[in-house]
Structure 1
Amino acid sequence: MNKRKLSSFLAIIMVLFLIAGCSGNKEHPNIVKDSDSNVTPKTEVFDPNMSFDKILEEAKGDTVSFYGWGGDEDRNKWLSQTVAPILKERYDITLEVVGMDIDNILAKLAGEKQAGLEEGSIDMIWINGENFYSAKENDLLFGPFAEQLPNFEKYIDTEDEEVKNDFGFTIDGYEAPYGKAQMVFINDSATTSETPKNAEEFMEYCKKYEGKVTYPALPDFTGSAFVRTLIYDVVGHEQFLNMEADKEIVKAAIEPALEYLKELNKYLWNQGKTFPATSGEVNNMFEDGELVMTMSYGPYSVATGIEKGIYNETVRTFLFDKGTVGNTNYMAIAKNSPNKAAAMVAINEIISAEIQATQFEELRSLPVVSYDKLTDAEKESFDKINIGKGVLPQDELLSKRLPEMPANIVPIIEEIWLEEIIGK
């Protein structure tokens, strides 16, 4: 991250801290308000190098807060009804899920650090990408801890690039994997027979269904990943993996893709003069028949939509032949967490084969455990899961999975898009 970007981040963090202090969270039956979270002061300094048996002993009876985006109804249900009871029964740990946007989480961490609080209100954090990089660089995270977890060595492929690096930056044990995501495209075979296999075919698809395709405005997470996938298809992905985070260098590299996106605008909804603000708006437009396709970072979201009656059974998922952007999301621990032992125990349990299988079945989230490390019984627990209709098998998804750009390149891409593409 260059100095200008880092300075901007710190300024934003302080503004968000002030805002966060004045605003409440949306009500949700499966999550609690931040103001309701419990902080249990501890007098002894936590030693992460103690044996895991001692960590288990210290964690007993604690309440551990897990801060993350609270807008996923299914995930909140899974955490509160599947994960929380297991943690309580096996370890006497109470899991408290707190819904908060990541910007406000980072603002809260930064504010507590500035106030000199050695023990804050946040234990675990759902995080990845630029947010992880910024939090780690600003000394807001506890670690390294991942290698201390028995299930990390037992179930995780420690040589996997997405275990060692998050959006191109080394993790160094400050995160443990939580779930995998991958960009997929979605349309209804009853409405459109085509499934474009590359950027060129996608352009023709948009011409044929003029005004019936769009994507979320950047910096929406899904919209940004969609644009990066198109960029990869037009100019390739390898050059970005070690690219300097310099705006002019990045712009020169993506120039052919920028010309493509400008041309694409002519055939999009509202002729690309405006874009829906969020992926949720794009999904709603697809469900209402206003659009002929949508996109998702959840590779099995179509199956869930069909089961809930949101999608017709003819809705299906497809990918580009060269692949689509995929990434891993992670769990981190706040540096001033008052319940580090309980956080480590909770994270260790979540990356177990048992809990990852429930996440795969209930949320259709790609598991982070290595299949090769599973016992025969554990493999069977994954193999018997019905992933549902309209989706692609896991092996095809992983074979067409492209690495994320480094975290400090992504905001540059988003800035260039705002300057060069919107309204052009």
Structure 2
Amino acid sequence: MKKRIAALLLSTVMAFSLTACGNSAKTEKADNKETKQTTEAVEDMSFDEMVDAAKGTTVTFYGWGGDDSLNDWLDNYYAPRLKEKYDITLERVPMDIDAILSQLSGEISTDKKDGDIDMIWINGENFKTCKENNMLYGPFAEELPNFQSYIDTDDEETNADFCFPIEGYEAPYGKAQLVMIADTAVTPDLPTNTDEFMEFCKANKGKVTYPALPDFTGSAFVRNVIYDICGYEQFMDMEADKETVKAAIEPALEYLRELNPYLWNEGKTFPKDSTALTNMYSDGEVVMDISYSAYSTATNIENGTYTETSQSFQFDKGTIGNTNYIAIAANSGNVAGAQVAINEMMDPEVQADRFTEIRTIPVVDYNKLNDTQKEAFDKVEIGKGVISQDELLSKRLPEMPSALVPIIEEIWAEEVVGK
């Protein structure tokens, strides 16, 4: 989901004043009729009034379209539910986040008040850039009924995205957590820390690797290695200064350089992305895969991508997890409809269905559910080869501040590749 924003986008954003975005007029479209509503009018609406205003309208949802299972769920469960329950038509627009934000910055810079983009699947660096440059509508999340009723407001990930304050400008969409996968019939002894991982790579020389940074999964794996060796606490408020970061992660850099000779292609090159690594694992070219989708192992066993004896594992100190979110464009033409749709995404019934069908870690707080709602989650069969949700969450480590991520990726390219 998270990709680096192109330099062109950043220069475009900085070239224009966006401070007036929050006061621009919003347009809601229904049956080719337009009902102009100012942002202030939407902000003054109760939720029931927003539901009324959203009837008959179209809400666009821009986000990464590379997950076929998620696309199918959105198109065949979530969209029909919005239509039946609220008479809202969901238009899913699959697009990489850098292209989405380039389009959004262009619309805002030209003062397009009835923007094409309503909802955005977003997190991390991209959220920080958008919020700092007034590209998002808000705050809104804390006013939504399902947020108030079912989201853990004390959870760090409810309040901060990659350590950056959310302040109601996005609502939780789904949770992810890094896992590693190996075939226990081939490699029965799975590493539980970086020392054992080194021995694992030596024992399977040339058959272990990770995606080249800045691939999202590869980058998270390297940060997990850093956490295991250097701890994570020092990074939570670290200055985004290259020399400071480099000094802090030097023990992990030395480890990664030492690891290279035992990796696929001796660490001179790395698979271009996580999809390439999964294909290599499926073909038997390597003995380990890495995923930021905690339950993907079960899905891949079921669809034949993985062997029946594949098993997820994580280090004893834990693995990095994050929440991804939905935000609303500052110049959205349908703010009311977007809020109704986002509220519905946090409905326990919707989250339970998503958990059942595509096995995304739910964002609702189990302790806030009634017995019937809990039963819907309890009965879900996650499948083979996965780590239980309780164990995953007990070893869940926080993401670093988003500003540190590109610095680490740059240092890795300079200090690790081919060394």
Equivalents in 1 of 2:69, 2:36: separation in Å?
Answer: 37
Equivalents in 1 of 2:166, 2:346: separation in Å?
Answer: 17
Equivalents in 2 of 1:272, 1:129: separation in Å?
Answer: 28
Conserved in 1, the CA contact under 8 Å of 2:121 and 2:325? yes
One-letter amino acid of the structure 1 residue matched with residue 211 of structure 2: P
Equivalents in 2 of 1:353, 1:336: separation in Å?
Answer: 29
- Please say if 1:88 is aligned against 2:83: yes
One-letter amino acid of the structure 2 residue matched with residue 13 of structure 1: L
One-letter amino acid of the structure 2 residue matched with residue 44 of structure 1: Q
Q: Could you tell me which of 206, 225, 232 is aligned with 1:237?
A: 232
Q: Could you tell me which of 38, 56, 72 is aligned with 1:45?
A: 38
Conserved in 2, the CA contact under 8 Å of 1:39 and 1:120? no
- Please say if 1:320 is aligned against 2:305: no
Q: Could you tell me which of 398, 402, 407 is aligned with 2:397?
A: 402
Equivalents in 2 of 1:16, 1:284: separation in Å?
Answer: 37
> How is 1:117-128 mapped onto 2 (pairs within 5 angstroms)?
117-128=112-123
> Which stretches in structure 2 are left out of the alignment for 5+ residues?
14-30
Equivalents in 1 of 2:242, 2:207: separation in Å?
Answer: 32
Helix, strand or coil for the counterpart of 1:43? Answer: strand
Q: Structure 1 runs of 4+ off > 4 angstroms?
A: 14-17, 38-42
The normalised TM-score by structure 1 is 0.91
Structure 2 counterpart of 1:4? none
Equivalents in 2 of 1:64, 1:161: separation in Å?
Answer: 29
Equivalents in 1 of 2:146, 2:128: separation in Å?
Answer: 24
Conserved in 2, the CA contact under 8 Å of 1:69 and 1:102? yes
Q: Could you tell me which of 60, 71, 74 is aligned with 1:65?
A: 60
Tell me the CA shift for residue 307 of structure 1.
1.3
Conserved in 1, the CA contact under 8 Å of 2:12 and 2:105? no
Conserved in 2, the CA contact under 8 Å of 1:74 and 1:363? yes
Conserved in 1, the CA contact under 8 Å of 2:6 and 2:98? no
Residues 61 and 256 of structure 1, relative CA distance in 2, 3 Å threshold: same
1:247-278 deviations in Å (ceiling 9; x for gaps): 11100000000000000111100000001111
Identity of aligned residues (%): 62
One-letter amino acid of the structure 2 residue matched with residue 278 of structure 1: D
Structure 1 counterpart of 2:149? 154
Equivalents in 2 of 1:88, 1:405: separation in Å?
Answer: 38
Structure 2 counterpart of 1:13? 9
- Please say if 1:358 is aligned against 2:353: yes
Equivalents in 2 of 1:245, 1:92: separation in Å?
Answer: 46
Helix, strand or coil for the counterpart of 1:55? Answer: helix
Q: Could you tell me which of 131, 135, 146 is aligned with 1:136?
A: 131
Equivalents in 2 of 1:297, 1:12: separation in Å?
Answer: 28
Equivalents in 1 of 2:418, 2:32: separation in Å?
Answer: 48
> How is 1:80-229 mapped onto 2 (pairs within 5 angstroms)?
80-229=75-224
Equivalents in 2 of 1:257, 1:417: separation in Å?
Answer: 10
One-letter amino acid of the structure 1 residue matched with residue 240 of structure 2: A
1:286-333 deviations in Å (ceiling 9; x for gaps): 000000001000010010011112211100100000001100000000
Helix, strand or coil for the counterpart of 1:174? Answer: coil
Structure 2 counterpart of 1:3? none
One-letter amino acid of the structure 1 residue matched with residue 344 of structure 2: E
Moved more, 45-54 or 400-409: 45-54
Equivalents in 1 of 2:34, 2:207: separation in Å?
Answer: 55
CA RMSD of aligned residues (A): 1.6
1:156-186 deviations in Å (ceiling 9; x for gaps): 0011100000000000000000000000000
Residues 39 and 48 of structure 1, relative CA distance in 2, 3 Å threshold: farther
Equivalents in 1 of 2:335, 2:413: separation in Å?
Answer: 40
> Which stretches in structure 1 are left out of the alignment for 5+ residues?
1-7, 18-37
Conserved in 1, the CA contact under 8 Å of 2:5 and 2:126? no
Conserved in 2, the CA contact under 8 Å of 1:41 and 1:119? no
How many residue pairs get aligned? The number is 397
- Please say if 1:422 is aligned against 2:404: no
Equivalents in 1 of 2:407, 2:263: separation in Å?
Answer: 24
1:220-259 deviations in Å (ceiling 9; x for gaps): 0000000000000010000000101111110000000000
Residues 209 and 10 of structure 1, relative CA distance in 2, 3 Å threshold: closer
1:364-423 deviations in Å (ceiling 9; x for gaps): 100000000000000000000000000011000000100000011111111111111111
One-letter amino acid of the structure 2 residue matched with residue 113 of structure 1: I
Structure 2 counterpart of 1:382? 377
Conserved in 2, the CA contact under 8 Å of 1:67 and 1:99? yes
Residues 234 and 14 of structure 1, relative CA distance in 2, 3 Å threshold: closer
Conserved in 2, the CA contact under 8 Å of 1:140 and 1:335? yes
Tell me the CA shift for residue 118 of structure 1.
1.4
The normalised TM-score by structure 2 is 0.93
Equivalents in 2 of 1:278, 1:9: separation in Å?
Answer: 17
Equivalents in 2 of 1:213, 1:11: separation in Å?
Answer: 33
Conserved in 1, the CA contact under 8 Å of 2:257 and 2:416? yes
Tell me the CA shift for residue 115 of structure 1.
1.1
